[in-house]
Amino acid sequence: MEAFLVSAGVIALAEIGDKTQFLALLLAARFRAPVPVLGGILSATLVNHFAAGAVGTLLAASINPALMRYLLAASFLATAAWMLIPDRPLAAGARPARFGAYGTSLISFFLLEIGDKTQIATVALAADTTRSSRSLPAPPSA
């Protein structure tokens, strides 16, 4: 439960004033269809963070734990410094949406989240072997 609360807190703080917040407001105003827009946002966020978690898990399995500790500390400090830099809102285009409210929300959110602060935080949290080992059940012994 501790890993979930720390992860949720870090992600929530990183999203305040983020470009994805502006995109959500833009999509809500443009389409005026909250269910498809929220569905697209949720789908894109789940896929993106699942991929980031998988990358973090792979890094944890392939990097020495002592080196991982220093890399995680550096990544958290870099993410903290990056959070102090405000994002700029996107310029709105006047073209009609080809994919509807859900498709436009899914594609734009997924592309906007690549390399975002929250994705980097998710990779770092997934790679933190001390948290993940405490939050996962132990495998059955033979």
Range of the domain at 74: 2-87+97-135
56 has a pLDDT exceeding 90: no
Of the candidates 19, 13, 118, the residue with the CA atom closest to the CA atom of residue 75? 118
| Alpha helices (H) in the chain, listed in sequence order | 2-15, 19-31, 34-62, 65-83, 100-113, 117-127, 129-135
Domain count for the chain: 1
In this structure, is residue 80 part of a structural domain? yes
| pLDDT tens digits, 60-78 | 888 888 888 888 788 888 8
In this structure, is residue 141 part of a structural domain? no
| pLDDT tens digits, 81-120 | 877 877 666 566 555 567 888 998 888 888 888 777 777 7
In this structure, is residue 140 part of a structural domain? no
In this structure, is residue 142 part of a structural domain? no
In this structure, is residue 119 part of a structural domain? yes
In this structure, is residue 69 part of a structural domain? yes
- What CA–CA distances, in Å, run from 46 to 22, 30, 64, 88? 19, 23, 28, 24
Cβ-Cβ contacts under 8 Å for 1 (sequence gap 6 or more): 135
Of 29-33, 41-45, 89-93, 120-124, give the lowest mean pLDDT range: 89-93
Q: Percentage of residues in the chain with pLDDT exceeding 90?
A: 6
Of the candidates 126, 52, 50, 121, the residue with the CA atom closest to the CA atom of residue 81? 121
